[in-house]
Amino acid sequence: MISLKTFYDEHPINEAEILRKLEAEGIGRADMRPEDLSRYDQDHYGGLPATDALVKVMGIEPGMRVLDICSGLGGTSRYLAYRYGATVLGVDINESRVDGATRLTELVGLDDKVSFQVGDAAQLDFDEGSFDRAISQESFLHVADKEAVFAGCLHILKPEGVFGFTDWIATEKLSDEARKTIAETFAAPRLIGFGDYGAMLEAAGFVAVRAENVSDEWREILKERLEMFRSLEQETVARFGRERFDTYIRNYEFFVEQIAAGALGGGRFVARKH
């Protein structure tokens, strides 16, 4: 079973790969802009349009303080700062991702608006009412105690604050064997259904829960993403070894098969604190 740390420490989308692509375009570190990074640092399905769709429903506005939960390399955090004028704190359990996010943010001069720290999504250690908005994208699949995540989000949001996220959903077509394989290869210990997420948000105390099934959108996006990962063979093998690349592609092929079969899908969820 792969650990969450290894899964992201050896991920094909990483700080070095982002910088390599930009340098191949002739964009040096001294000349790099946030917009340049955004072409390669969006490690979630659908890229910037997907973030825009989530932000539109959440109502993120200039001056708001936003918590980006499981922020990874910080692509969403930086985008919320330079595109929407938010002040963003990103938290991620993986120290190497936090370090990379911090360096990339400093590189494009956004460190006055965006910062990162190591933290556990299920143990959000912030004062009550610290944030206007909380956001996350395809991350809670990695968290077993989702109830603790939602309770923490409710606590850290201001009254009328909004929590929005996207995540994997499991359907009745997902077999026990496939569920076990996904858990072992994607560090996804507890996949739940579309309706389960809405019920869980309400149980945590959120109101005005809005849920949208985005599985159809994801089917094509994930096929394209698989091809993108395959295209990184040379770079990934050089950085992490042949075995890691072959294993990652094999596992991702299985994941895409489950999406295509309707056993896995995606959901977009937005809810408000009363």
The stretches of the chain forming alpha helices (DSSP H) are 4-9, 15-24, 34-38, 47-58, 75-84, 95-107, 146-156, 176-186, 194-204, 215-231, 233-240, 242-260
Bin 127: left if φ > 0, else alpha if -120 < ψ < 50, else beta: beta
Q: Do residues 89 and 59 make contact, with C-beta atoms less than 8 angstroms apart?
A: no
What span, in angstroms and rounded, lies between the C-alpha atoms of 73 and 33?
16
Q: What integer pLDDT is reported at residue 1 of this predicted model?
A: 87
What is the rounded distance in angstroms from the CA atom of residue 43 to the CA atom of residue 249? 16
Q: Would you give per-residue pLDDT tens digits along the chain (274 residues)?
A: 899 999 999 999 999 999 999 999 999 999 999 999 999 999 999 999 999 999 999 999 999 999 999 999 999 999 999 999 999 999 999 999 999 999 999 999 999 999 999 999 999 999 999 999 999 999 999 999 999 999 999 999 999 999 999 999 999 999 999 999 999 999 999 999 999 999 999 999 999 999 999 999 999 999 999 999 999 999 999 999 999 999 999 999 999 999 999 999 999 999 999 9
Neighbours of 80 (CB within 10 A): 24
Domains of the chain: 4-168+191-215+265-272 (3.40.50.150)
pTM of model > 0.75: yes
Q: Which residues partner with 168 through β-bridges? A: 266
